[in-house]
Structure 1
Amino acid sequence: MRKDSGRHVGAIAARLSLRAPQQRSLEILDRIMEILPPGKESDLAAALAAIRREFPQVSDFGRGFPSLCFALATGVGKTRLMGAFVAYLHLAHGIRNFLVLAPSLTIHDKLIADFTPGTPKYVLPGIQQFSIEPPVIVTGENFAYRVGGARTRHAITVNIFNVAKINSEMRDGRSLRIRSLREEIGESYFDHLAGLDDLVLIMDEAHRYRGSAGVRAIEALKPTLGLELTATPFVEAPRRPVPFANVVFDYPLGRALADGFVKEPAVVTRENFHPAGKSPGEIEEIKLHDAIRLHEGVRVELEVYARENRVGAVKPIVLVIARDTSHAAELMRLIRSPRFFDGRFTNKVIQVDSSVREDEAVERLLKVERADEPTEIVIHVNMLREGWDVNNLYTIVPLRAGNSNTLVWQAIGRGLRLPYGGRTGIAAIDRLNIVAHDRFQEIVEEARRPDSPARLEQLVLAESQLQQSTVTVVSRPRLVDWLGIEPEGSASNAPGGFHEEQASFGDDKRAIARLTYETIMGEATVGFGAPLPSLGHLMRPEIRDALISAVASGYRSAGREGPADELAAVVTDTTEFVLQETIEIPLILAVPKNEAKWGYRSFRLDLSRFSYEVPTENLWATHLRTGQVDRIGAAAAVIEERLDNCIVDALVAFDDVAYEEHAELLYDLAGQVSRHLLSRMSERDARKVLWLHRHEIARAVHAQMQEHLWQEAHADDDVVVTRGYTALRERTFSKAMDEPVLDFRLPPADKGNMARHLFGGFARCLYAEEKFHSDAERMLAVVLDREALKWFRPAKGQFQLRYRAEGQELDYQPDFVAETGTRTLMIEVKASDRMDDRIVLAKRNAAVHWCRHATGHALKHGGKPWGYLLIPHDAIAENVTIEALARCHMEGRVLRVV
Structure 2
Amino acid sequence: MDTDLIEEVAARLQLRAPNKAALEAVARRLDEADEPLDGVCDLATGVGKTYIAAALVDYLYESGVRNILIVTPGSTVFGKTVNNFTPGHTKYVNGLESNPLVITSEDFDRGAVAHALADDTRLKVFVFNVQQLIKPTQNTSRKVREHDENLGGSLYEHLQQVSDLVVIADEHHVYFGKNAKAFTSAVKDLKPLALIGLTATPSENTTDDQIIYNYPLAAAIADGFVKIPVLVARKDGQVTLRRQLADGLLLLDRKREALVAYCAKQDCNPVNPVMFVVCESIDDANEVASELRGPDMLGSDEAVLVVTSESPDESLAALDKVEDPASPVRAIVSVQMLKEGWDVKNIYVICALRALESQALSEQILGRGLRLPFGSRTGVPMLDSVEVLSHRRFHDLLANARALLEATFKERAEKVVAETATGQVSGTATATGGEDLVLPSDGEAADQVTRVDGIVGTGQLTIEGVGTAGASAADSEGSVGLVFQEFEDRAREAEAAVLLLQQDMSPRSDAPRILFPRLDKQIQPQPFTLSDVADDDARLRGLNYRSEIASPLDRVGLVAERRGEAIDVTPRKQAEDIAASQEMLPVIDLITEMTGKVLNSGLVIPEMKEKNAVRRLIRAFLAGAGVEDPETAEWSQRRVQVATDAFLHLVREKHKNRPSGIVEKIEPIGYPPSTLPSVTETLDRYTVQNAATFVPGKPYTGWTKSILPAAAFDAYSTEYRLADLLDSAPEITWWVRVLPNYGAYLNYGANQRYIPDLIAIDTTGVHWLIEGKADVRANDKDVLAKKEAAERWVRHVNDSGEVEAEWRYLFATETNVKHAAGSWVGLKQVTGS
Question: TM-score when scaled to structure 2?
Answer: 0.52
**Structure 1, unpaired ranges of 5+:** 37-50, 52-66, 236-241, 475-491, 498-577, 591-721, 855-860, 876-885
Query: Which structure: greater strand fraction?
Result: 2
CA deviation map 1:193-247 (0-9, x unaligned): 4444544433222233343499559829921126252425566xxxxxx533596
Q: CA RMSD in A?
A: 6.6
Give 1:249 deviation, angstroms.
Answer: 0.9
CA deviation map 1:146-198 (0-9, x unaligned): 3322112333322222345678x958736554455444334443443444454
Superposed, 1:406-555 pairs within 5 Å as 408-422=362-376, 427-438=381-392, 443-447=403-407, 451-452=411-412, 457-461=481-485, 466-468=491-493, 469-470=495-496
- Structure 1 pair 372/215, CA: closer, same or farther in 2 (3 Å)? farther
How far apart, CA to CA, are the structure 2 residues paired with 1:298 and 1:125? 32
Instruction: Return the letter of the residue paired with 1:35.
Output: E
Instruction: Return the letter of the residue paired with 1:208.
Output: V
How far apart, CA to CA, are the structure 1 residues paired with 2:239 and 2:66? 62
Matched, 1:391 2:345: yes
Q: 1:274 aligns with which of 235, 243, 250?
A: 235
- Structure 1 pair 74/460, CA: closer, same or farther in 2 (3 Å)? closer
CA contact (8 A) 2:346 2:369 kept: yes
Matched, 1:583 2:505: no
Superposed, 1:830-845 pairs within 5 Å as none
Identity %: 22
How far apart, CA to CA, are the structure 2 residues paired with 1:89 and 1:827? 41
Superposed, 1:592-607 pairs within 5 Å as none
* Partner residue in 1 for 2:197: 229
- Structure 1 pair 447/829, CA: closer, same or farther in 2 (3 Å)? same
Matched, 1:202 2:168: yes
Matched, 1:382 2:342: no
How far apart, CA to CA, are the structure 2 residues paired with 1:726 and 1:260? 26
* Partner residue in 2 for 1:140: 106
CA contact (8 A) 1:300 1:471 kept: no
* Partner residue in 2 for 1:895: 830
CA deviation map 1:448-468 (0-9, x unaligned): 787356976242447555325
CA contact (8 A) 1:735 1:757 kept: no
* Partner residue in 1 for 2:69: 99
Query: Which structure: greater helix fraction?
Result: 1
Q: 2:129 aligns with which of 141, 162, 166?
A: 162
* Partner residue in 2 for 1:35: 35
CA deviation map 1:289-319 (0-9, x unaligned): 6743773586379538x71xx7655444332
Matched, 1:248 2:206: no
Aligned to 2:355, the other structure's residue is in SS state: coil
* Partner residue in 1 for 2:186: 219
Give 1:368 deviation, angstroms.
Answer: 2.3
CA deviation map 1:765-785 (0-9, x unaligned): 988x867669999xx99x99x
Mean alpha-carbon deviation: is it higher for 134-143 or for 223-232? 134-143
CA contact (8 A) 1:102 1:160 kept: yes
- Structure 1 pair 221/181, CA: closer, same or farther in 2 (3 Å)? farther
How far apart, CA to CA, are the structure 2 residues paired with 1:174 and 1:417? 39
Aligned to 2:830, the other structure's residue is in SS state: coil
* Partner residue in 2 for 1:71: 42
CA contact (8 A) 2:244 2:390 kept: no
Superposed, 1:604-615 pairs within 5 Å as none
- Structure 1 pair 733/359, CA: closer, same or farther in 2 (3 Å)? farther
Give 1:495 deviation, angstroms.
Answer: 6.8
- Structure 1 pair 467/418, CA: closer, same or farther in 2 (3 Å)? closer
- Structure 1 pair 366/312, CA: closer, same or farther in 2 (3 Å)? same
CA deviation map 1:535-570 (0-9, x unaligned): xxxxxxxxxxxxxxxxxxxxxxxxxxxxxxxxxxxx
* Partner residue in 2 for 1:299: 259
Instruction: Return the letter of the residue paired with 1:733.
Output: L
How far apart, CA to CA, are the structure 2 residues paired with 1:841 and 1:5? 26
CA contact (8 A) 2:232 2:484 kept: yes
- Structure 1 pair 827/259, CA: closer, same or farther in 2 (3 Å)? closer
Aligned to 1:467, the other structure's residue is in SS state: helix
How far apart, CA to CA, are the structure 2 residues paired with 1:175 and 1:847? 61
How far apart, CA to CA, are the structure 2 residues paired with 1:220 and 1:845? 48
Aligned to 1:352, the other structure's residue is in SS state: strand
Give 1:20 deviation, angstroms.
Answer: 1.4
Superposed, 1:357-376 pairs within 5 Å as 357=311, 361=315, 363-376=317-330
Give 1:412 deviation, angstroms.
Answer: 1.4
How far apart, CA to CA, are the structure 2 residues paired with 1:28 and 1:585? 48
Give 1:410 deviation, angstroms.
Answer: 1.5
Instruction: Return the letter of the residue paired with 1:101.
Output: V
Matched, 1:263 2:192: no
How far apart, CA to CA, are the structure 2 residues paired with 1:827 and 1:473? 33
Aligned to 1:35, the other structure's residue is in SS state: coil
* Partner residue in 2 for 1:110: 80
How far apart, CA to CA, are the structure 1 residues paired with 2:281 and 2:128? 32
How far apart, CA to CA, are the structure 2 residues paired with 1:265 and 1:68? 30
Superposed, 1:481-880 pairs within 5 Å as 583=512, 730-734=673-677, 810-812=754-756, 814=758
CA deviation map 1:350-385 (0-9, x unaligned): 232327438765553342233453544433333333
Give 1:444 deviation, angstroms.
Answer: 1.1
CA contact (8 A) 1:69 1:247 kept: no
How far apart, CA to CA, are the structure 2 residues paired with 1:753 and 1:376? 42
Give 1:248 deviation, angstroms.
Answer: 0.7
- Structure 1 pair 87/124, CA: closer, same or farther in 2 (3 Å)? farther
Give 1:101 deviation, angstroms.
Answer: 2.0
CA deviation map 1:771-802 (0-9, x unaligned): 7669999xx99x99xx9xx9895776999897
Instruction: Return the letter of the residue paired with 2:304.
Output: I
Aligned to 1:893, the other structure's residue is in SS state: helix
Instruction: Return the letter of the residue paired with 1:144.
Output: R
